[in-house]
Each structure stands twice: as C-alpha cells, then as structure tokens.
Amino acid sequence: MINTAQTQALMLYVAKQVVASEPLLTEADLVIGDGDHGIGMERGFLAVIEMLEKEQLASVDKVFIKVGSTMMASMGGASGAIFGSFFRAGGKALKGTSDFDAKSLPVLIEAGLQSVMDRGGASPGDKTMIDAADMALQMSKTTSNESLESALSKVAEAAKQGVEATKSMIATTGKAKTLGERSLGHPDPGAITTAIIFKSMADFVKQGVAV
Amino acid sequence: MRIPKKLINDPSKVAKEQLEGLIAANHGRIQAIGDKGAVCVNPLPSPQVAIVTGGGSGHEPMFAGYLGPGLATAAACGDIFAAPPPGVILDAAQAADQGKGVLFVYGNYAGDNMNFDIAAELADDEDIETQTIRIWDDVASAPLSKIKERRGVAGDLFVLKIAGAAAAQGKSLGQVTEITAHARDCTRSVGVALSAGSIPQTGKYNFELPDDELEYGMGLHGEPGVSREKMASADTVVEQLLDRIIEDLPFVAGDKVCLLINNLGSSTVMELLIANRKVHSYLESKNIEVHDTLIGSYCTSQEMAGYSISLLKLDDTLTPLYDAPCHSFALRK
Ligand SMILES: Nc1ncnc2c1ncn2[C@@H]1O[C@H](COP(=O)(O)OP(=O)(O)OP(=O)(O)O)[C@@H](O)[C@H]1O
Ligand SMILES: [Mg+2]
C-alpha cells in the first residue's frame, strides 16, 4: 500500500517512462496508424510531469483525476480523449481514498475502462488499448488480496498479454481501421502504452517505495 | 533511405507557427483565441449560427484557411494529424457563438469525434447549444453499407462552403444542420497517393511506397490506403477514381456537380490539370454537367504526392448556396 504522496510519485515515474517510450510508440503507430500516437502520449505526459512537479495533490483519487484532466486538456487525438477519460473516471471511482493498494486497482481500472468504452464505443477485441486494460482488469480482480507489489506485477504481465492478443485482431476503430486485415500481426499502439503504464507502476513499487 | 526535408524551426512548434502565419495572412480578419490553437473570425458577422470546424493540423489550408464571411466562423487546430483537445474546441465555440447556436462540422475520425463530443458536453455546461455534422466523403475508406465509418477528406470543403452559406442567410441551427447534412450526403471523394508524407516531429515518412507503385484510397493522415497497384497513366488512374465515386452516390446522367481536384501535397499543377482534362471528358461522356471546377491544394497531407477527386451533386437547395459569395484565405467567391 502506498500513500497519496507516493501515488503522486508513482504517476510521475509512470509519466517519465511513457515519455521515454515515445520512439517505440511512434514506430508502432507508423506501422498501423498515422504515426502520431507516441507524440501525443509524450505531449500529454510531459504536461502531467509539469503538473505533478508543481502541485501537491490532496488524495489518491485527486492524483488520478488530475492526471486525466491534464492529459485531456493537453493532448488531443484519440488517445487524449481515451487516456484522459481513463484516469479521470478511474480516479473518481477512488473518491476519498488516501491509500492506494491492490484493492484500489480493480476499482480504478474498471471505472476507467467503462468510461473509455462509453466515450469511444469500442469493446474488447477491437484492437485498442481496451484489450490491454481489460486483461489488466481481469487479473486485478483476482489479486486484490495480495500486496500491491505482487498485484501490480501480475497486472502488468496481464496487460502485456493483452498487447500480444491485439496482434491477431483486426482494427475496427481509430486511424488503423482502414488497414483492415493489413493490421493483422501488429500490436496496437494504445495497448502498448497501457502495458507500459502498468509495467512502470509495478517497477516503481518493486523498487521499494513501500508495500 | 530518403529523409524528409522541410524548412521548419522547432519541430514541436510547427502547428503553432503555421497558424501564426495564417493569422498574419488574414490581415486582422481572423484572430487567435487563447494560445492553444483556437481561431475565430474578427469581427463576428451579424448574428447567425456559428460554424465551428477543426481537426489535426498538417492539412493546410484545411481547416483554419476557410474562416470568413460565408464560410466557417471559428476553427480548433490540433497538433499535426491529431484532433484538437476539447478545451480548444470549446474556446473556438465560445468565441464564435452569438446565441444562435453552434454547428460543429468536421471530418469523421475517432479522435475528432471523441474530442468534439466532449467539447459539446462542455459547451452544454456553458449553455451553448451545439449540433454536429461529421463528414464522411471518402468512398475508399469503407463500403457504402458502413458509410458512417468513412473518413472525411477534401470533400470537407464543399460541406463547409454550404454550411457557411446557409448560416450567412440567417437560417436557424436546425435548418443549417439539415442543409449541411444534405451537402455531406451529396459529396463523394477518393484519392490516390504516389509517395508518402511525413510528420515533422518524427522526421520519418509515414509509409513507404515502392517507386513503381501507387496506392488508392490513401488516407489524409498518411494512413495506408486500400489497394496498391502498379504505376499507370493519368487517364487510367482518373478513370479508376471516378468509377468508384460515380457508382457510389450514384451520380447519373443529367446531374450537375461541383468538382474539386485536390493536391495532397507535392503533386504538380501540371498533373492536376492533366487529371482535370480527363475528369471533364469522363463526366461529359456520362452526361454529367460540371458547374464549377476547383483545382489546387485545398486539403493536404504534408508532402504526400498524389491527388483526390471530390464531387458535390447540386440541386435546387445546394446550387444557390454554393454560388453565394464567401471570403477566406483559401477560398473566395
Ligand atoms: N474508440 C476507441 N476506444 C479505445 N481506444 C481507442 C479508440 N480509438 C483509438 N483508440 C486507441 O488510440 C490509439 C491511437 O491513438 P492516436 O492518438 O494515435 O489516435 P488516432 O486514431 O491516430 O487519432 P488522432 O490522429 O486524432 O490522434 C490506438 O492505438 C487505440 O489503442
Ligand atoms: Mg494515430
């Protein structure tokens, strides 16, 4: 379990990891999309870094809500609406929480995912970030009695499997949609980002903040 | 490997700097709203429904090049090829609204749809009434049975022209929306690409096309298209493009159309004119009358080579609106 300040530090770490992944994400979106996903995520998380380094947020829910609204305001693109909605709605579901633990995870992911599906109309199987987030959600439901470190490492692994699964899917939304069957064999860029987010959370907690 | 060459400054500032250049080119007739990509005509016209458009930058002169009397009122410009965030769209809507409501008119892409929808919710919080028309003129991007999944390309111009003219006549939001939807439903486009464009920030081509191939149905964001074929003569390519457009609406003998041959970026005026020669003879052979012809760079995709052809089918409602005067950076009548 981590407290509010640690959660803020966790999201700062996540933001830096995603920013560092820009070339990889650009590469993935060049293959099946329009090549702007990495730049968009970089723009959003740079704004998040600036915000988190300046502000001291009052509770765990506020950390995620503010991360989401900062992304929504700064990014644009499909991913600005998608990832912004994910963190905003996920944060709102944790209202009043001052400790982030393995029980918070399914709450965060479930509400975030629901809002992404409401906003964009996509479902699991459509080759989007939803496929990674959904695998993460299913895993987080089974690990809610474990330590945060153990839960996050399993959730991150599940998200990664979600990325793998998108390789055999045909895109039906976003800029990759027009590719149809040509998108087969390639992972979805937004799913990769989702896996990086959970992997970074897991790494941060493993590096021994507190458990 | 070939590397894209562009004369730019800071790659992360291209969207901002092109907009500053566009504003300067308008000599005070449009102004920035905030510093995040919203622009609005200045001064506002006599009270009328506001036409607010927008989308990713990088398609210049689309979208902000079409602000002015008889055209769009305000635009929200995102980063290169990325939909603008909701706050920027709201900035544009608030600046343009004169209490008669706002019509959002933009190309049908997941990113634009979501961000404009969020903006519509934010506008509602501010008591601004909005309606939305998404443009889906690209026949190559999905079958007719799934028309709502098609992308918006250069045909956006025709739809904006009609929307702006209808708003300038003082029609209600409901009427402007209905007429704009009708214009959208009468517009079809399809493109062909010969070589790729590149996003300044990545400094890479968005895809590779072999020297001896072309691609039909290429997306405006450099998304790969639907079919790749060997290079062919201009007449053959134009015929292929028109066959797809004609059968889709369908356009039939006796129809009157407006024609747009749009440069995707780096094709030559010579090629566009050679295409136009064939388009006119093709349409004449089908007994379709061309009411007006636009040729040039109206909706681009960086340095992509190739062009798109768009047709707007006119009728008694659309003809006078199309012929109505307008003034903007990139379209004047
Ligand atoms: N409807 C949707 N629901 C969930 N995720 C989506 C949806 N549409 C796109 N995505 C995610 O967004 C990612 C692409 O983000 P990106 O910002 O590059 O979008 P885009 O479609 O290129 O739009 P834009 O060019 O406006 O940014 C995809 O890999 C996918 O995971
Ligand atoms: Mg993209």
What CATH code is carried by the domain that includes residue B135? 3.40.50.10440
**Interacting residues of A201 by C-beta distance below 8 A, sequence separation 6+:** A10, A14, A152, A156
**Residue B325, in any domain of the structure:** no
Residue B306 lies in domain:
187-317
Answer whether residue B129 shows pLDDT above 80. Answer: yes
Answer whether residue A211 shows pLDDT above 60. Answer: no
Q: Is A163 in the pocket of ligand 1 (CB under 6 A)?
A: no
> Same structural domain for residues B152 and B171?
yes
A72:B85 CB<8 A:
yes
Among A73, A75, A178, the residue with its CB nearest the CB of B226 is A178
Which atom in ligand 1 lies closest to the alpha carbon of residue B114? 1
> Same structural domain for residues B181 and B221?
no
Partners of B141 on chain A (C-beta within 8 Å) are 178
> Same structural domain for residues B143 and B210?
no
> Same structural domain for residues B36 and B78?
yes
Q: Which two tokens stand for residue A176?
A: 């990759």
**Residue B331, in any domain of the structure:** no
B311 or B202: which carries more pLDDT confidence?
Answer: B311
- Last residue in a domain, options B185, B204, B233: B185
**Residue B332, in any domain of the structure:** no
The answer to whether the beta carbons of residues B110 and A36 sit under 8 Å apart is no
**Residue B243, in any domain of the structure:** yes
Q: Is A122 in the pocket of ligand 1 (CB under 6 A)?
A: yes
Residue of A nearest to B86 (CA): A73
Pairwise CA distance, residues A88 & A65, whole Å? 4
> Same structural domain for residues B174 and B213?
no
Q: What are phi and psi of B289, to 5 degrees?
A: -85, 135
Catalytic residues of B: 59, 221
Q: Is A191 in the pocket of ligand 1 (CB under 6 A)?
A: yes
Q: Is A32 in the pocket of ligand 1 (CB under 6 A)?
A: no
Answer whether residue B322 shows pLDDT above 80. Answer: yes
> Same structural domain for residues B129 and B18?
yes
The CATH number given to whatever domain includes residue B193 is: 3.30.1180.20
Q: Residue B265 corresponds to which amino acid? A: G
Answer whether residue A209 shows pLDDT above 70. Answer: no
Among A33, A78, A182, the residue with its CB nearest the CB of B83 is A78
Partners of B196 on chain A (C-beta within 8 Å) are none
> Same structural domain for residues B262 and B226?
yes
- Last residue in a domain, options B158, B185, B212: B185
> Same structural domain for residues B174 and B191?
no
Residue B36 confidence (pLDDT): 95
A178:B86 CB<8 A:
no
Residue A174 confidence (pLDDT): 67
**Residue B144, in any domain of the structure:** yes
Q: Mind listing the pLDDT tens digit for each residue in A153-172?
A: 999 999 999 999 999 998 87
Partners of A182 on chain B (C-beta within 8 Å) are 224
> Same structural domain for residues B133 and B221?
no
Residue B225 contacts A, CB cutoff 8 Å:
yes
> Same structural domain for residues B179 and B191?
no
DSSP assignment of B230-261: E---HHHHHHHHHHHHHHHTT--TT-EEEEEE
The answer to whether the beta carbons of residues A7 and A158 sit under 8 Å apart is no
> Same structural domain for residues B117 and B157?
yes
**Residue B2, in any domain of the structure:** no
Quote the ligand 2 centre to A51 CA distance (angstroms). Answer: 25
What's A169's DSSP letter?
S
- Last residue in a domain, options B185, B201, B236: B185
Q: Considering every ligand atom, which ligand is closest to the CA of A171?
A: 1
Pairwise CA distance, residues A64 & A85, whole Å? 10
Q: Mind listing the pLDDT tens digit for each residue in B214-273?
A: 999 988 887 767 789 999 999 999 999 999 999 999 999 999 999 999 999 999 999 999
**Residue B329, in any domain of the structure:** no
Q: Mind listing the pLDDT tens digit for each residue in B158-169?
A: 999 999 999 999
A34:B222 CB<8 A:
yes
The answer to whether the beta carbons of residues B51 and B160 sit under 8 Å apart is yes
Q: What is the ipTM of this complex?
A: 0.85
- Spell out the alpha helix ranges (H) of chain B: 14-25, 86-96, 110-125, 156-168, 173-185, 234-248, 269-285, 318-323
User: Could you give the number of structural domains in chain B?
Assistant: 2
Q: Which residue has the tokens 């979208």?
A: B63
**Residue B333, in any domain of the structure:** no
> Same structural domain for residues B176 and B277?
no
Tell me how crowded residue B124 is: count the other CB atoms within 10 A of its CB: 11
Q: Mind listing the pLDDT tens digit for each residue in A37-62?
A: 999 999 999 999 999 999 999 999 99
Pairwise CA distance, residues B43 & B191, whole Å? 36
Among B88, B141, B206, the residue with its CB nearest the CB of A35 is B206
